[in-house]
Structure 1
Amino acid sequence: MASCPLGYGSGKEKDHPMACAACHGLAFEPTYALVCKCVYCSACVGDVRDCYSCGRDVEGSEPVLEFQEKIDVFLNAHGPKEKRERGMFWLEHAVKHERKGNFMAADARYIQALEAFKEDESNSKEEISICMSKQAEIRWQRLSDVESGREMFKEAVGQLISGTNPENVNFTTMAVTYMKWGALEHSIANLKAAAELFKCATEARENAFVKGMCDGEDVVASRFALANVRVDLGENKAAEELFRELLETLPRGDQLSARGKAMRQIAEERLGDIDTKTNRAQT
């Protein structure tokens, strides 16, 4: 039986002529490097001076529309057939594009992944939510589309809780999504919304901790984010309580990770600032 040249069905995907030589994802808006005519994504080829495939000097580029037709034909014949497998395929290529900074391609591949996941009614809501959350980050952080990012975070949370028994909710995924959504609101100074989202993240982390789905430091990280927003809102008393609470929770010495040490240091500094402001107000 002949094997697929891309390695589909074997679990070992191979490098192939349809992959971008820079990001290794399936070429998006396929473009030839000149004069060698090796294939790249249109967004990837611009920074290439020596071709990653053949080593020749790159003197320019040209779009190659017929190459996309070849990709479509090949995927129809040899690509993943099952809806979930197709979703995972596009998700994998989205990550490849994202790692190399080709965010328009990554965004398009996340859309394709979501379409495939949603077609399969038996598919995990968690996978759909994670995919949405990753795309929301790209929309917000890389494509400067805050409103779209916000809507996708909102939908990602909705996927996790819609029609799901509370006992079966993945609180870790929910907490991560709330944290990212809160960071979006914080970045545009929408502080009250950010505080509410970080509070939701903290509650989800606490539930995850009870179920053994995360460690105590993850819970502290959510409280830390909430405490920082409380400071920005001028709610120093509430912030002080949160900072003192997380300092009591964090272990000391070698038991603390680098993240934990950083949170402890910043919390102590923030408490010092709050004490200074309180003393000034009293004098």
Structure 2
Amino acid sequence: MSCPFAKTATSGSGCPMKFDQNHYRPQAGSEDRDNVNQKNDDSGIVSPKCPFGYDSHTFKLGPLSCMLCKALLYESSKCAPCSHKFCKACISRFKDCPLCGADIEKIEPDADLQALVDRFINGHARIKRTQVDADTEEVRDEQKNVIYGAVSVERGAFLVQQAMMAFRAKNIESAKSRLSLCAEDIREQLKTSGNTTELCSQLGAVLGMLGDCCRAIGNTASAVTYYEESAEFLSKIPTKDLELVHTLSVSLNKIGDLSYYDGDLQSARSYYSRALDVRRDAVKEHKDASSQLVDLAVSLAKVADVDRSLGNEHVAIQGFQEAIEHLESLKLSSSEASLEQQRHSVLEFLHSQLAEKQEPVSTATV
């Protein structure tokens, strides 16, 4: 889905992060705008530089980042005797220092370095810029207007960026810590601004990611709580935005998956059905959106799978057949290769379910 912080990004530079279904990733095609700006000193364009070495385009954080997870240091620790520094969770997986190869005799906390990292988050990452209009951001002084070009990203996008790098490196507690700070910030904004579409979409996305963190460490109860709250906020947003609709249905499906694995089939069916309803409505609103038809087929398969487990074989077969009809009617272009691959994979699963009625396979991972 689109980054929920995109609207706060610097005009012209775009948001440095993109959402997909499960991950944030750097935006492709970012140009080296700093070099361009340096060549135009007379144009009034200024490229602020972070004194800590943070580059918002390459995501490098200089001395405050962990070379293993590439994110901000979390629970900063140093190896003895070599004194190289990493996140505690990252370095705890090694017996030899991954930087110099020295034997690790012990790992010691580095409170001073962690305090510096925390000050960086609370200070530098809070950079705010006055928005003059929808197209440009200007900072006025007594002599001239200055347009800031490659300013470091806003706190929300910054924290999400760091969280996702840590999550991908399996430093889950680090990711959870950054996302929790982000969620707290948005909740404070909600108190003063109310339930705006932008804030609800941001909080809904961040809460869903917190659910993923809890799920990754086996805390199912907290994961469900976060997913439910994510769905609550995303449900307040008009269904015109397909990517937000997709995120809402994914949150509902994740709760259904956890209920399914826990053996609570009735609860699983309830959440799968809610996701199915959301996707049916989206297809009605956007009949030409290919991705929505694939999502709809997945939801039909999930509900049908639970119906079969509950003994409702006839209803289950109808669900599988409806999903097949949607996918077989879908014609994709050559530019939609990844979606075609997903369509083919789901079709194979559906046909196998009709062919092997006696041994249903869980759709929780579809």
TM-score range, shorter chain: 0.7 to 0.9
1:66: which partner in 2? 112
State whether structure 2 residue 305 is matched by structure 1 residue 228.
yes
Instruction: Write out per-residue CA displacement over residues 99-135 of structure 1, whole angstroms, 9 at most, x where no aligned residue.
Output: 0111122111111111122222355211111111111
In the superposition, relative to structure 1, how do residues 27 and 211 fare at CA in structure 2: closer, same or farther (>3 Å)? same
Contact 1:44 1:102 in 2 (8 A): yes
Pairwise mapping of residues 1-283 of structure 1 onto structure 2 (< 5 A)? 3-6=49-52, 11-49=57-95, 51-52=97-98, 54-59=99-104, 60-82=106-128, 85-121=154-190, 122=193, 123-140=198-215, 142-162=216-236, 164=237, 170-212=244-286, 214-251=291-328, 257-274=340-357
Distance in 2 between residues matched to 1:21 and 1:276, nearest whole Å: 47
Q: Structure 1 stretch 262-271 or stretch 222-231: which is displaced more?
A: 262-271
In the superposition, relative to structure 1, how do residues 107 and 227 fare at CA in structure 2: closer, same or farther (>3 Å)? same
Root-mean-square deviation (CA), in Å?
A: 2.9
Residue 215 of structure 1: SS of its match in structure 2? helix
Contact 2:201 2:233 in 1 (8 A): yes
Contact 1:80 1:89 in 2 (8 A): no
Contact 1:22 1:40 in 2 (8 A): yes
Which segments of 5 or more consecutive residues in structure 2 lack a partner in the other structure? 1-45, 130-152, 333-338, 361-366
Aligned residues: 274
Letter in 2 for 1:128: L
Q: Name the structure, 1 or 2, with higher relative contact order (CA <8 Å, separation 6+).
A: 2
Q: Structure 1 stretch 177-186 or stretch 72-81: which is displaced more?
A: 72-81
Letter in 1 for 2:248: M
Instruction: Write out per-residue CA displacement over residues 181-236 of structure 1, whole angstroms, 9 at most, x where no aligned residue.
Output: 11111111111111111111111112222333643111111111111111121211
Quote the offset at 1:71 in angstroms: 1.8
Distance in 1 between residues matched to 2:100 and 2:323, nearest whole Å: 54
Q: Structure 1 stretch 254-263 or stretch 22-31: which is displaced more?
A: 254-263
In the superposition, relative to structure 1, how do residues 126 and 47 fare at CA in structure 2: closer, same or farther (>3 Å)? same
Instruction: Write out per-residue CA displacement over residues 47-82 of structure 1, whole angstroms, 9 at most, x where no aligned residue.
Output: 235545x43424242111121222233344422234
Contact 2:208 2:227 in 1 (8 A): yes
Instruction: Write out per-residue CA displacement over residues 115-158 of structure 1, whole angstroms, 9 at most, x where no aligned residue.
Output: 12222235521111111111112212x22211111111111111
Q: Structure 1 stretch 191-200 or stretch 65-74: which is displaced more?
A: 65-74
Identity %: 23
Distance in 1 between residues matched to 2:65 and 2:177, nearest whole Å: 16
Give the TM-score normalised by the residue count of structure 2. Answer: 0.67
In the superposition, relative to structure 1, how do residues 15 and 166 fare at CA in structure 2: closer, same or farther (>3 Å)? closer
Letter in 2 for 1:186: Y
2:35: which partner in 1? none
In the superposition, relative to structure 1, how do residues 270 and 72 fare at CA in structure 2: closer, same or farther (>3 Å)? closer
Letter in 1 for 2:259: E
Quote the offset at 1:8 in angstroms: 5.4
Contact 1:8 1:79 in 2 (8 A): no
Contact 1:34 1:62 in 2 (8 A): yes
Distance in 2 between residues matched to 1:73 and 1:12, nearest whole Å: 22
Letter in 2 for 1:67: L
Q: Structure 1 stretch 165-174 or stretch 241-250: which is displaced more?
A: 165-174
In the superposition, relative to structure 1, how do residues 100 and 192 fare at CA in structure 2: closer, same or farther (>3 Å)? same
In the superposition, relative to structure 1, how do residues 253 and 75 fare at CA in structure 2: closer, same or farther (>3 Å)? closer
Distance in 1 between residues matched to 2:183 and 2:103, nearest whole Å: 35
Higher helix share: 1
Q: Structure 1 stretch 8-17 or stretch 105-114: which is displaced more?
A: 8-17
